[in-house]
Structure 1
C-alpha cells in the first residue's frame, strides 16, 4: 500500500472472509486536529469492494477532496473517523450493516463489504 498523502492509495487484496465488524487500521497517524463525532471533515478517499477489489469511488479520480458532515455519512465512517487526526491515513473495512445495508436494499453497493482508505485533510 502506498503511504503518501499526495498520492492516491493502492489497496492490497485482503485474504479470508469479510469481517462482520468494522475494522479500523491506521496507515499513518496524523498530528493535526482530531475529528469528533459531530465534525465536518475534508477528506480524500478511495473505496473498493472487499470481495472483487473493484474500485467504486475515488475523490482522487475527481482531482479534489470532499467536505462532509460525519453525521451524513455511512455508519462505518461515523464510527471509523472520530479519533483520526488531520494528516492521517486510515483504512476502514466496512461490513454491509455499517455501509449501504443488506443485499436488495436499493443501493448498488447494498450487501457489499467495502474498503475505504481515507486521508483526513481538515476538520471543522
Structure 2
C-alpha cells in the first residue's frame, strides 16, 4: 500500500485573523438585529402592579384569574372575577404574560394585534385591536391535579369516573371562561 502525500500550501499571514474578525462581525450583526426586533410593535406590554410569590405557571397548567379586558379607548369588552383558563388555550400574548406571573400578583398587560386576534374581529373586539388587561393570578394547578380532583369529586358524588377535563377534548367548557376576553387562540 502506498501513501500519496499532498503538500499543503501555507496559510497566508493574517488570513485566520481576518476569518475570526468576519465571524465576530456576523455574530454582532445578528445580535443587533435580534435586539432591534424586541422593540417592535409586536412586543407584549407587561407591567407588574403588585408582585406575586412562588413559581410561575407553565403551558400545561390551568390558571384561576380575575381580569378586566379593555380596548385602547377604555371600552370594557370582558371581565371575570374567577375564570379558570388553560394556559396553552389562549391567544399568544395572554399565554406569554401568564408564563411571567406569580400567584397573588397583579399585572397590566397590553397585547398587540399580532399576539391577539390580528385582522380578525371577535365579538365586541374589532379587527387589529390592542387588548389591555388588568389581571390577578389567583391560583394555578397542573392538569393532572385538576383531573385527580375531578375523579375525587365524582367518587364522592357516586358518579362514574371518566368524562373529560373542562375545556379539554370531550369535556365541558371551563366554568366562567370568557367569550371575548382571553379567549382560545383558534389560530
TM range, smaller chain:
0.7 to 0.9
In the TM superposition, structure 1's runs of 4+ consecutive aligned residues that sit over 2 Å from their partners are none
Higher helix share: 2
2:98 is the alignment partner of 1:98 = no
Alignment of 1:41-60 (within 5 A): 41-50=63-72, 52-60=73-81
Asked if structure 2 preserves the Cα contact closer than 8 Å seen for 1:32 and 1:87, the reply is no
Root mean square deviation, CA, Å? 1.4
Q: How far has the Cα of 1:111 moved from its partner?
A: 1.0
Asked if structure 1 preserves the Cα contact closer than 8 Å seen for 2:121 and 2:128, the reply is no
Partners of 2:47 and 2:117 in 1: CA distance: 21
Count of residue pairs brought into register by the alignment? 99
Partner of 1:25: 47
- Aligned-partner SS, 1:107: coil
Partner of 1:120: 137
2:128 is the alignment partner of 1:107 = no
Asked if structure 1 preserves the Cα contact closer than 8 Å seen for 2:42 and 2:115, the reply is no
Alignment of 1:9-88 (within 5 A): 20-50=42-72, 52-60=73-81, 65-88=82-105
Q: How far has the Cα of 1:32 moved from its partner?
A: 3.9
Which structure has more relative contact order (CA 8 Å, sep 6+)? It is 1
Partners of 2:64 and 2:55 in 1: CA distance: 12
Q: How far has the Cα of 1:34 moved from its partner?
A: 2.1
Q: Deviations over 1:11-36 (max 9, x none)?
A: xxxxxxxx542111010111144212
Partners of 2:118 and 2:66 in 1: CA distance: 23
Partners of 1:85 and 1:28 in 2: CA distance: 10
Asked if structure 2 preserves the Cα contact closer than 8 Å seen for 1:33 and 1:123, the reply is no
Asked if structure 2 preserves the Cα contact closer than 8 Å seen for 1:36 and 1:83, the reply is no
Partners of 1:122 and 1:87 in 2: CA distance: 7
